[in-house]
Amino acid sequence: DRSPDEGGIVVIGLGRFGCRLAGSLAALDHEVLAIDRNAEQVQKWSAQLDRVVQADATEEGVLRQLGVADLGRAVVAIGASVEASVLTVLALVELGLPQIWARATSEKHAKILGSVGAHHVIFPEAETGERVAHLIVSRMLDFIEFGDNFAIAKVRVPQVLLGRPLRELAPAEHYGVRVVGAKLPGERFRYASDDTVLAPGSMLIVEGSIDQVQSFAALT
Ligand code: ADP
């Protein structure tokens, strides 16, 4: 049996999100079949992507003809039309695709996608909006939240962590965050260790609760 992690990925809906996704998957050396019902979109992306097909993805028979049933993974990137998105997921479920990822634009949309059989529901707008809000109001340079109040952030090194090894400064004890990675000026990111000594202009990757990470990022 073929593992669902192997083989091609079908991306349906080449709007702003879908085409970036398809392009990134192709750049990661995955075989991508891209489908959009709009001829203009298909035309536009046919030069950048290996296989771009014009088709209505809500038609199970059409998907079958395109060989979609033999692929391991599908991403339904349609956002604006909830109906098209749900019917496409349904068609993919009927085809028995082992991994169906679907984009939701609202909580209700997500609920429906889950109940018709999508295995993973993603919220690109909501997630990006939330992340960017954190970046705007805090001094974090990047931020990912994993649920259960756990986050990882990229921050500038605060004064208090300069000049002495992390062993002595004990950031976990004092600030509740663990320094996982450090980038000294002119170098690349490396794992941080007890012996790491930070210099002005260093960047850090820290992990902890959202509050702790945020307070740590606010130190100057
Ligand atoms: P974005 O917000 O990422 O731009 P949109 O929802 O505006 O996303 O774009 C969705 C894309 O999905 C459009 O290019 C549209 O032509 C395509 N699409 C919509 N319905 C279908 C369908 N039934 N089959 C294939 N493609 C579809």
pLDDT at 138: 84
Q: Does position 1 have pLDDT exceeding 50, yes or no?
A: no
Q: What is the pLDDT of residues 109-151, one digit of tens each?
A: 999 999 999 999 999 999 899 889 888 888 899 999 888 999 9
Q: What is the pLDDT of residues 169-200, one digit of tens each?
A: 999 999 999 999 999 999 999 999 999 999 99
**Using 50, 70 and 90 to split pLDDT, how confident is the model at 6?**
low
Q: What are the angstrom distances between the C-alpha of 171 and each of 103, 150, 218?
A: 39, 17, 14
Which has the higher per-residue pLDDT, 69 or 220?
Answer: 69
Task: Return d(Cα 150, Cα 75) in angstroms, integer.
Answer: 27
Q: What is the pLDDT of residues 13-29, one digit of tens each?
A: 999 999 999 999 999 99
Tell how far the Cα of 14 is from the centroid of ligand 1, in angstroms.
6
Angle at 142 between CA 164 and CA 25, to 5 degrees: 125
Tell how far the Cα of 70 is from the centroid of ligand 1, in angstroms.
23
Tell how far the Cα of 78 is from the centroid of ligand 1, in angstroms.
4
Which residue has the least CA distance to atom 9 on ligand 1? 15
**Mean pLDDT for the stretch of residues 86-92:** 98
Average pLDDT, the chain: 93
**Using 50, 70 and 90 to split pLDDT, how confident is the model at 3?**
low
Which residue has the least CA distance to atom 16 on ligand 1? 38
**Mean pLDDT for the stretch of residues 37-65:** 95
Q: What is the 3-state secondary structure (H, E, C) of the chain?
A: CCCCCCCCEEEECCCHHHHHHHHHHHHCCCCEEEEECCHHHHHHHCCCCCEEEECCCCCHHHHHHCCHHHCCEEEECCCCCHHHHHHHHHHHHHHCCCEEEEECCCHHHHHHHHHHCCCEEECHHHHHHHHHHHHHHCCCCEEEECCCCEEEEEEECCHHHECCEHHHHCHHHHHCCEEEEEECCCCCCEECCCCCEECCCCEEEEEEEHHHHHHHHHCC
Angle at 172 between CA 193 and CA 141, to 5 degrees: 80
3-7, 47-51, 149-153: least confidently modelled range: 3-7
Walk me through the domains of the chain, giving residue ranges and CATH numbers.
9-122 (3.40.50.720), 127-218 (3.30.70.1450)
Listed in sequence order, the residues at least 6 apart from 163 whose beta carbon sits closer than 8 Å to its beta carbon are 197, 198, 199
pLDDT at 20: 94
Q: Is the CB of 36 under 6 A from ligand 1?
A: yes
Q: Is the CB of 37 under 6 A from ligand 1?
A: yes
Q: Is the CB of 176 under 6 A from ligand 1?
A: no
Q: Is the CB of 154 under 6 A from ligand 1?
A: no
Tell how far the Cα of 37 is from the centroid of ligand 1, in angstroms.
8
Task: Return d(Cα 11, Cα 73) in angstroms, integer.
Answer: 9
pLDDT at 102: 98
Tell how far the Cα of 109 is from the centroid of ligand 1, in angstroms.
15
**Mean pLDDT for the stretch of residues 59-82:** 96
Which residue has the least CA distance to atom 12 on ligand 1? 13
Pair of tokens at residue 31: 């075989």
Q: Is the CB of 121 under 6 A from ligand 1?
A: no
Q: Given the CA of residue 19, which atom of ligand 1 is nearest to it?
A: 3
Task: Return d(Cα 63, Cα 50) in angstroms, integer.
Answer: 17
Q: Given the CA of residue 13, which atom of ligand 1 is nearest to it?
A: 12
